[in-house]
A and B are shown apart, each in its own frame.
Chain A
């Protein structure tokens, strides 16, 4: 990137600050403003001459802070006639900033119209700390084509980067239907990906639009129930799983109910070990003392006398 190392001082209001290449804009922190007030400007901002006056290339927070302090701005005039040059200089000037997924995506979204996908991967990803061909590279690539509000949700930490591939596979109308589930809830990586994957797969399996699945399953009503975010997400994940695996979920619910009746009042755990691929049940208990062991044996004796075992063992078989 050729630059013209010309230092100048300009009035802050002379410099335009609106270019798209400023893709990580943030207001100046108090620390920065205080430092500039006390010590003054120690590093110039980067400015280019567009023929229409000076335009900021990098250093927006410093510029805004100096403008607020009413001080002139030390600028380094750079040779960056094209937006691509300006973007690369902005990246270089911000190389020390800690990056998150949303910042990486914002940078890629700026460069995407200016480079082909191969050049984007080879030239830009490494500058963002991402290895071309890596899983993160694939995910970011998937995110590039996702419209708002999804990049906004990513920036706000409401949807994980890992959801990019499944979001990209959803039809636009299905993505739109799913968006309200992310409007106010901050989804973890596993829950967010599971939720979307199950909904996508259920849509494929049933041939139904996602909006219909959300309505039929009751998921569409969950945000309005007034639950805590944690409870709301747990409910949504459970309903999405039921929607994706209706027969398995029904079997599991029936098994758990019967198992609860059989083991009520004991420390025994009764579980189905293999997704009903075979009949039977697995019983486990943890004991630490002879007394606990004796109690476990008595409990097991009492459990064995209860009705319900045949039903439990045969779940997953043919139902006429």
Chain B
């Protein structure tokens, strides 16, 4: 039995809450205040941030801060894919930035070099923009997600953001929302009126990577159990192997997790599954080396890719992809599988076809998301 006064482990380092002055009375700020009341974090300081102040800072070395901010930029964005590789065409609903968990390979370490968890508190503006974007032409389909610059569910216990979004999107049957996470929080489920318009998604990795490189996250078993709960409730789920890491014992590790998936869900309950090899901006490597000295995988054979990011040498990627795809196919996976940011060569080598052969990856995934 979990203690209701205790926040989930990944939220316990939050030591203060910053709020833009204009957001002090926002529904989101009120909700966060209510949800912190009665917890071990009820008394953490709340600090109003005056207009024009562009920086807030955490106090202690390990402390994190929640920042409820009035966001002035675009909420609906395109995924920052590059032309050199096949992008899935996912659209991003930008709800905040940064993540309270600590995964050694995470790109957010390079994007956000502080411990401030930003949440866009001006939800009315976000919903207005989404209504304009999704409502202009109801025949246009959108496959959207919130897990690009943050984890979709990491702050859900405090913000209820995904639940709000699920409720809002109930009016838009031309939109499928993917909630991508490494933690388990299913409090959004009862806000969904159509189980075919929400795709709960979890990242998976080899057990050794989960144990040695992902911290303050849910276990693989917890994630898969949550996926089963969702599938039993009628949702289709997404599972993502990204980043796939080349480490001693990777074959056994990835075989184990692949086999374990199908103890929890059936292939037809999986809308799609991505495979992406570890890749990073060159400036991330020294950050990982500093933050996670035991992360030896960064010293593998990485070369500059066509997009300037460091990528594992192609034959090594092919070896891993082929192994995993073959094993997944043996479990009945087929059209659900796709590569995140890979070249035509790699697609052809592993799958025997490339996205242009089936009308493009975006279209394939859109069809799968909408259950066509």
A316 close to B314 (CB less than 8 A): yes
Query: Which of B10-18, B26-34, B49-57, B303-311 binds A?
Result: B303-311
Least distance between B284 CB and chain A CB atoms (Å): 16
Closest to B303 in A: A275
**For window 277-307 of chain A, which residues contact chain B by CB distance below 8 Å?**
277-279
Please give the number of chain A residues whose Cβ is less than 8 angstroms from any Cβ of chain B in the complex.
20
Instruction: Answer whether residue A42 sits at the interface, using C-beta atoms and an 8 A cutoff.
Output: no
What's the count of A-B pairs with C-beta under 8 Å? Answer: 56
Give B316's nearest chain A residue, CB to CB.
Answer: A247
Which of A57-65, A100-108, A200-208 lines the interface with chain B? A200-208
A317 touches B299 (CB 8 A): no
Interface string of A232-262 (1 = CB under 8 A from B): 0000000000000111100100000000000
Known A-B contacts A204-B296, A205-B296; A318 and B318 likewise in contact (beta carbons under 8 Å): yes
**Cα distance, A251 to B303, chains bound together (Å):** 13
For the complex, would chain A's binding face be called helix, strand, loop or mixed by DSSP majority? loop
CA distance A202 to B350 in the complex (A): 28
Residue A182 lies at the interface, judged by CB distance under 8 Å to chain B: no
Known A247-B313, A248-B313; judge A207-B248 contact (CB<8 A): yes
A247 to B315, Cβ gap below 8 A?
yes
Interface residues on B, range: 20 to 34
Contact partner of A201 (CB less than 8 A), chosen from B248, B299, B303, B322, is B299
Given contacts A247-B316, A317-B318, contact A277 B299 (CB under 8 A): no
> Judging by beta carbons under 8 Å apart, are A204 and B299 in contact?
yes
Q: How far is the CA of A207 from the CA of B305 in the complex (A)?
A: 26
Q: In B319-348, which residues have CB < 8 Å from any A CB?
A: 319, 322, 343, 345
Would A248 and B318 count as touching, CB distance under 8 A? no
B6 at interface, CB cutoff 8 A: no
Closest B residue to A200 by CB, please name it: B299
A317 vs B349: C-alpha distance in the bound complex, in angstroms?
A: 7
Q: Is A24 an interface residue (CB 8 A)?
A: no
A195, chain B: closest CB distance, angstroms: 15
Decide: B300 and A205 in contact? CB cutoff 8 A: yes
The reply to whether A275 and B313 form a contact with Cβ atoms under 8 Å apart is yes
**Any B CB within 8 A of the CB of A110:** no
Whether, in the assembled complex, B63 has its beta carbon less than 8 Å from a beta carbon of chain A, the answer is no
Say whether A248 contacts B349, CB under 8 Å. Answer: no
Shortest B235–chain A CB gap in Å is 35
- With a cutoff of 8 Å between Cβ atoms, the chain B residues found around residue A245 in the complex are 301, 313
Instruction: Give the residue name and chain of the B residue nearest to A198 (CB).
Output: B299
Contacts of A274 in B (CB 8 A): 304, 306
Known interface pairs A275-B313, A278-B343, A318-B315; 4 further A-B residue pairs with C-beta atoms within 8 A, sorted by A's residue number: A205-B296, A207-B296, A275-B303, A277-B306
**B interface list, Cβ under 8 A from A:** 248, 296, 299-301, 303-306, 311, 313-316, 318-319, 322, 343, 345, 349-350
10 CB-based A-B contacts, threshold 8 Å = A201-B299, A205-B299, A207-B248, A247-B316, A248-B303, A251-B315, A277-B304, A279-B345, A317-B318, A317-B349
**Leading 9 A-B pairs by shortest Cβ distance:** A275-B303, A205-B299, A201-B299, A204-B299, A318-B318, A204-B296, A318-B349, A316-B314, A245-B301
